[in-house]
Homo-oligomer: A and B are copies of this chain.
Amino acid sequence: MTNSSNLPTHGRHILIDLWGCDRAALADGEALDALMRRAAESSGATVLQTCFHRFPPTGVSGIVIISESHLSIHTWPDEGFASADFYTCGDVRPEAAVEVLRAGLAAESSEVLVVDRGRGGRDRSIRVVDR
């Protein structure tokens, strides 16, 4: 195992957990697709493709592939819970995407974790920025 701590970061990975969301919004795959596209575009990312699937009884999983990496969302409508991740590189503002998602799901609370990928070392690469 080599020491990789001097490597630069290769992108920011933002993990967002959202509670108390609008349950109808979490179950509507088409609306989630549109919301996630809007979130990506608000961050300045270029959307290449989206792939959304509904799961019985009500959950939705979706991915937005962007030129700058990806966004994903998985929803549990019965619990009002959603988990998303935004992996972005370059001149993208994922914070804007987080705000679009929070507003679009009418989330009561959320936690945002930021991991700078490719740096190695827990202390430098992981932080909770918002709860």
Binding site for B on A (CB under 8 A): 1-2, 4, 7, 10-11, 13, 15, 17, 19-20, 48-49, 51, 53, 55, 61, 63, 65, 67, 69-70, 72, 74, 76, 79, 81, 83, 85, 87, 89, 108-109, 111, 113, 115, 117-118, 120, 122, 126, 128, 131
For this chain, the copies found in one complex come to 2
Instruction: Closest B residue to A20 by CB, please name it.
Output: B2
Q: Looking at the complex, which one of B2, B72, B117, B131 makes contact with A109 (CB distance below 8 Å)?
A: B2
A4 neighbours in B (Cβ, 8 Å): 17, 19, 109, 111
A52: min CB distance to chain B, Å: 9
A131 to B87, CA, bound (A): 21
A2 neighbours in B (Cβ, 8 Å): 19-20, 108-109
